[in-house]
Structure 1
């Protein structure tokens, strides 16, 4: 077992038994998944056209009905009216809602980034006052961070808050942009700078004088959701509605975004599965040249590649859910000290949350694009659901911090933790040179043992590239080398995805279930593809930071680390695709 904590997966080995996987779902988890799917099929999808046309009266009614069933309070303790479910259950609920389309987005914005700031960081009085209504759906929430002049640069917000002389009210002025649920939300979590300096969070009620919203934005996708600007014109907010401490709004904002990122990844996993299901169903029924197009090897190759990426994304999402559940267990944020512990617990896995967000959103785009391609011309027609999945998927690479910003956060987080002694990165780099001369272990004959050796080599490629970059680029100039940082982030993302798939398959090996073979093949394919990615990215980093003999020596090490017998991808993909076509879509949970 390697070092514990966020980012530690890059520095050592992880035991399969210590990782949560979908095969570990309890009966309660499966009941929640089934109840969520039934709600979507029976209550939401029959009204799909009306919801897509922005019938917000219907949407609000359905959200309240979801509240009656307990589907708005998964992350809320029972004492405030919630279900108090573990993070695995609430993640599973998020995944299973995706066929509800834009309703799922409205639900997620309310239950996640809209409600969790109060649930996790509110005072006891704030929780008692607001959370039960948020859980029931009597009040709906929105999260207001982005501004016309500050998107990724959230701390550059211009919205201001000024405390009056009596100390009873803050006056807020400013505009928030692209606010999901703005058309019908009752509560807004608003970030503003006290006296233009202290970035802070406030609970703002719609009924306060001076609160208004702009017109609905005309969007490429997610058309059924409400997206408007929130306008604050001399809005007097009671001082007791300050959320958290003055000047500490960034702690709330960024940690809520961390939760939002891995929840978004869960939704992307669900949508990817749906896209694959639609593609396979279409391919089995569409006949060309006298047979179903699902029989054609090139289309089967697409299905296999989509399946493998979903398998990796699903594995990483539930691995992360298990990590966050372990970190948050027993914490309620009931007082200031506990709230700080909650923030630390969430921040511990900020790097993994960013990785989840990037990989899963790009997995969904891949699944949607290949789904359209398998549909051919029909994939471009609105009558077919894959067309909307394709349009709706695009926003996920922008939501919760663009993928570019998240890529920059990954190496930045690693280095900051190393500098603070929270992660033994520098010590590991010091040992790397001696480890590079050690002979490569031999496979021991157990399932995926060679892939485990490949992952170890891949981690050394990351450390070699990262260590070279850190040693050659002055710390104060690293941010000017975004291309290098992004390549290192891509390496970390690929390692976490591949290792998650590998750990899951290793853990499940030997159970004898029907899915064992396809799980093993998916892990083989993902690990083989990952090693090639790592080799290419390592060369990119080294070529950007070295030259001459020094570069040639390091490239020689890269070639040696990445030298493995190539996988017969054709045969592996054919086996995966055969099982996917037989199943009619995703094989597994």
Structure 2
């Protein structure tokens, strides 16, 4: 699969076949064992304690993190020579997936420690720093925290005011500043802190040990939050804290790149962290609908409830499909880079950076799907869903933060398009040729040939190809008109980003369903095909809407009429699916199973 992988963003200009996409059904036996081990831990140690977790029990989360360390889950991606398991990127994703399903409080603590807390040291640390810190972080002897955000520096991370000044004897940096919304701050020993040295253009990263920081280091009170209530979140204050020069992480003035690459890892893993939550929410909703009786029958027999179950399952299936596809791309890219002679650190950095577009896409889609499923889950529970006695209320509150951290979804939408355009300007992806072809097609007479849809999902794949054309039509025309000033038109960019996101996630879903039908035909593959058809129908409707709002925002007259005609052409079905029938059949299958089964 490595030899056939597309480079980051290339999914827009090349069509993959089903046998070149990685799906959860492709997990190795070792990966399945890790999955079951993680799931068993959550079912045994976490799910029964959900009510306790919802009472701001920070000590419980710390204790669960220690147990995860003892089981090796904190060191999944840490190289073996530093006390970790040294497993591949897909395995780190699936562990994050299943560790995160029961509660956002543990998911956040785990993600912050293993992702943005440990990975920067793995990727940028000196040999001495790795030997000193990674074994402790991999076992849970120490916990890590990532201190980037400041009161006036959120999405604009490089504007932070925290300062670092080298001491006269050249042995220490004196660190002063304030950080906020810092996850794990209450129990972390090691803090990755970003500050500006003197008047440098960019920030620099430092490793600060709490026990060695002295009286200048202090913490604010625990934040009183909407969700993830037992995740320790505090302000951190540095008042002339002495940091040894050997604790500078990476290079001076290069901290912003460390921060951005750490966030790329965090974004795709945040997508994974939303998956098992969706599975559990959907399964709980199905189970409740089967048990709840109204008018003498289970509410799962009502069409309105079945519609919700089908839509929740569709979002969940799509989120899974789109998350593991780029995870394998990253793993393969790392292997390819090592084969080219790169060090493991450099290979991993380049591999992760290669798929930054896909990371942003996955983060946006999966986080919003988690919010959707939890909201619909509450609705199926009815009044009971609003009660803290039921799991839906906490799931809804926990889901809300996922659209904010690791870069807000608005920022990630803007980034996905801007990174794609940047790759085109760098010559890494040819966007102009397909954009020109789309322009020529708009001037041509549509074919009246009757297409052959005898192959599984043939119409769906044809429509996906056309949806990519819709992106080129909108984004290409906008870029041609505004050039470098396009970045000033954020609402237009977001419309283009919506098309980009739907294309990637839906293509992943359709190809996964086709792969299941080819390799494992049966009831599950038939269900997957129906879910893929529902996901495509939903995407087509969204792209119609976002394409329309984008086109009318910067065109008029004949140009506008031509592009609107093109949008209709590129979002057209030759044979519309019976969406109500599909939703009913999906729901009835899952209701019979009494859970989400894929």
On whether the aligned pair clears a TM of 0.5, the verdict is yes
Indicate the SS of the match to 2:75: coil
Q: Take 1:99 and 1:349, find their aligned partners in 2: how far apart are those partners?
A: 25
Indicate the SS of the match to 1:106: helix
Q: Take 2:566 and 2:57, find their aligned partners in 1: how far apart are those partners?
A: 60
Q: Take 1:387 and 1:49, find their aligned partners in 2: how far apart are those partners?
A: 11
Q: Take 1:297 and 1:59, find their aligned partners in 2: how far apart are those partners?
A: 40
Select which of 344, 350, 355 maps to 2:361. 355
Q: Take 2:401 and 2:503, find their aligned partners in 1: how far apart are those partners?
A: 25
Asked if residue 203 in structure 1 is aligned to residue 207 in structure 2, the reply is: yes
Q: Take 1:121 and 1:430, find their aligned partners in 2: how far apart are those partners?
A: 42
| Superposition pairs of residues 155-304 of structure 1, within 5 angstroms | 155-197=158-200, 198-207=202-211, 208-209=213-214, 210-304=216-310
Select which of 507, 515, 527 maps to 2:515. 507
Which residue matches 1:371? 377
Select which of 130, 143, 148 maps to 1:145. 148
Indicate the SS of the match to 2:521: coil
* Conserved 8 A contact 1:141-1:181: yes
Asked if residue 106 in structure 1 is aligned to residue 109 in structure 2, the reply is: yes
Q: How far is 1:340 from its partner?
A: 4.4
Length-normalised TM-score, structure 2: 0.94
Q: How far is 1:54 from its partner?
A: 3.5
Indicate the SS of the match to 2:203: strand
* Conserved 8 A contact 1:361-1:397: yes
* Conserved 8 A contact 2:474-2:547: yes
CA offsets 1:2-52 (integer angstroms, 9 cap, x no match): 983111111120122111101101111111111111112222334444443
**Inter-CA distance 530–171: structure 2 relative to 1 (3 Å threshold):** same
Q: Take 2:474 and 2:107, find their aligned partners in 1: how far apart are those partners?
A: 40
Indicate the SS of the match to 2:282: helix
Asked if residue 525 in structure 1 is aligned to residue 531 in structure 2, the reply is: no
Which residue matches 2:435? 429
Q: Take 1:43 and 1:583, find their aligned partners in 2: how far apart are those partners?
A: 25
Select which of 471, 474, 486 maps to 1:462. 471
Q: Take 1:466 and 1:211, find their aligned partners in 2: how far apart are those partners?
A: 48
CA offsets 1:125-159 (integer angstroms, 9 cap, x no match): 11100000001100000111110111111011111
Q: Take 1:514 and 1:121, find their aligned partners in 2: how far apart are those partners?
A: 47
Q: How far is 1:103 from its partner?
A: 1.9
**Inter-CA distance 3–268: structure 2 relative to 1 (3 Å threshold):** closer
**Inter-CA distance 49–575: structure 2 relative to 1 (3 Å threshold):** closer
* Conserved 8 A contact 2:160-2:195: yes
Select which of 337, 341, 352 maps to 1:346. 352
- Aligned-residue Cα RMSD (Å) equals 1.9
Which residue matches 2:7? 5
CA offsets 1:378-398 (integer angstroms, 9 cap, x no match): 000000011110111111100
Q: Take 2:525 and 2:23, find their aligned partners in 1: how far apart are those partners?
A: 14
Which residue matches 2:95? 93
Q: Take 1:376 and 1:277, find their aligned partners in 2: how far apart are those partners?
A: 16
**Inter-CA distance 579–545: structure 2 relative to 1 (3 Å threshold):** same
Which residue matches 2:576? 566
Q: How far is 1:444 from its partner?
A: 4.7
**Inter-CA distance 417–204: structure 2 relative to 1 (3 Å threshold):** same
Indicate the SS of the match to 2:319: helix
Q: Take 1:85 and 1:429, find their aligned partners in 2: how far apart are those partners?
A: 40
Asked if residue 487 in structure 1 is aligned to residue 487 in structure 2, the reply is: no
Q: How far is 1:83 from its partner?
A: 1.0
Please say which of residues 457-466 and 539-548 is displaced more in the overlay: 539-548
Length-normalised TM-score, structure 1: 0.96
Which residue matches 1:419? 425
Asked if residue 18 in structure 1 is aligned to residue 20 in structure 2, the reply is: yes
Q: Take 1:50 and 1:283, find their aligned partners in 2: how far apart are those partners?
A: 26
CA offsets 1:104-143 (integer angstroms, 9 cap, x no match): 2211211111111101211111110000000110000011
Q: Take 1:44 and 1:575, find their aligned partners in 2: how far apart are those partners?
A: 34
CA offsets 1:404-435 (integer angstroms, 9 cap, x no match): 11111111101111111111112322233345
Indicate the SS of the match to 2:274: helix
Q: Take 1:552 and 1:154, find their aligned partners in 2: how far apart are those partners?
A: 42
Please say which of residues 84-93 and 122-131 is displaced more in the overlay: 84-93
Q: Take 1:99 and 1:459, find their aligned partners in 2: how far apart are those partners?
A: 33
Which residue matches 1:471? 480
* Conserved 8 A contact 1:109-1:142: yes
CA offsets 1:314-362 (integer angstroms, 9 cap, x no match): 0000101111111223779xx9976444332211111100000100011
* Conserved 8 A contact 1:2-1:12: no
**Inter-CA distance 337–91: structure 2 relative to 1 (3 Å threshold):** closer
Which residue matches 1:30? 32
Q: Take 2:402 and 2:209, find their aligned partners in 1: how far apart are those partners?
A: 28
Indicate the SS of the match to 2:553: helix
Q: Take 1:25 and 1:534, find their aligned partners in 2: how far apart are those partners?
A: 32
**Inter-CA distance 336–519: structure 2 relative to 1 (3 Å threshold):** closer
Select which of 549, 556, 569 maps to 2:558. 549
Indicate the SS of the match to 2:73: coil
